[in-house]
Amino acid sequence: MEQRTDHIVKSYDNELDQIDHIIGEMGVLAASQLKDAIQALVKEDAALAKKVVSGDAAIDALEQEIDTLAVRVLALRQPMALDLRRVVAAMKIGGSLERIGDYARNIANRSQVVTALPGEHGGIRVIERMGGIVDEMIHGVLEAYREANVERAEAVRLRDESVDQLNNSLFRELLTYMMEMPSNITLSMHLLFIAKNLERMGDHVTNISEHVHVMVTGELPEWERPKSDRSSQITSEES
């Protein structure tokens, strides 16, 4: 790993550290938004859901802050090598975390509708598990970023497969449920979208793992992406 600190110009270090700091802050916020959104769904907590919806603006603001700071560093410092890769990675990671925040808000919005609907569904347990894995993935990838640790980034990325598999099985289950009784369709559709949001969050964490790899090594990872999301091919006949 190349040196990360001690530029001759100290304020340059401060600016790069500030970018790292905001990424850390955004990541923690995104993970906590996700956790709260899932809790709001599981515990049928409308107040918590509303808090998540209004909390998304803070993540958006941090993304703006990263972009402004990164553009400033690019213009004023003309970073090279690892410094350049750090700034570019931060801009991309900021974008992914912002999207994760959007998905959490979407889950929170849907949780309010699901709570208002009659009936219960076991699928919520699967969603809770998916949310737990994605939450751990976000924390893991933030650590990989902070420590500039490629192995850790790859380990995080591999966990995305289990998120995809849970999404596939939930998709099948909900399809059957809807076929059995059309009155289940509204609830099932919302749960499907929530699962899809979690699956997309996993993909964004995977992207962040790849950005960490490029940031640390300067090369694109040769990892083969696990392609376990089969929900686009599932039909009612096979479910």
Partner 1 sequence: MKGLAHPMPVTTTATTASEISSEREQVGAGANSSIISARNINVHYGEKPALVNVSVEIPRHQVTAMIGPSGCGKSTFLRCLNRMNDLIESCRVEGDIFLDGEDIHAPQVDVVTLRMRVGMVFQKPNPFPKSIYDNVAYGPRIHGMADSNSELDEIVLNSLERAGLLDEVRDRMHDSAMGLSGGQQQRLCIARAIAIAPEVILMDEPCSSLDPIASARVEDLIDELRQKYSIIVVTHSMQQAARISQKTAFFHLGELVEEGETERIFTAPKDTRTHAYITGRIG
Task: State the residues that interact with partner 1 by CB under 8 A.
Answer: 2-3, 6-9, 12, 78-85, 217-219
Ramachandran area for residue 120 (φ above 0: left; ψ -120 to 50: alpha; else beta): beta
For residues 119 and 218, which CB has a smaller minimum distance to partner 1 in the complex? 218
Q: Minimal distance in Å, beta carbon 5 to partner 1?
A: 9
Q: Minimal distance in Å, beta carbon 145 to partner 1?
A: 18
Our CA angle for 230, 119, 236, nearest 5°, is 30
Q: Minimal distance in Å, beta carbon 86 to partner 1?
A: 10
Name every residue whose Cβ is closer than 8 Å to that of residue 44 and which is 6 or more positions away in sequence: 111, 115
For residues 84 and 189, which CB has a smaller minimum distance to partner 1 in the complex? 84
For residues 92 and 230, which CB has a smaller minimum distance to partner 1 in the complex? 92
For residues 19 and 174, which CB has a smaller minimum distance to partner 1 in the complex? 19
Within a 13 Å sphere around the CA of 133, how many CA atoms are in the beta-carbon half?
A: 26
Q: Minimal distance in Å, beta carbon 51 to partner 1?
A: 37
For residues 12 and 193, which CB has a smaller minimum distance to partner 1 in the complex? 12
Long-range contacts of 77-84 (CB under 8 A, 24+ apart): 77/9, 77/12, 77/15, 81/2, 81/218, 82/2, 82/3, 82/4, 82/215, 82/218, 83/12, 83/16
Q: Minimal distance in Å, beta carbon 90 to partner 1?
A: 16
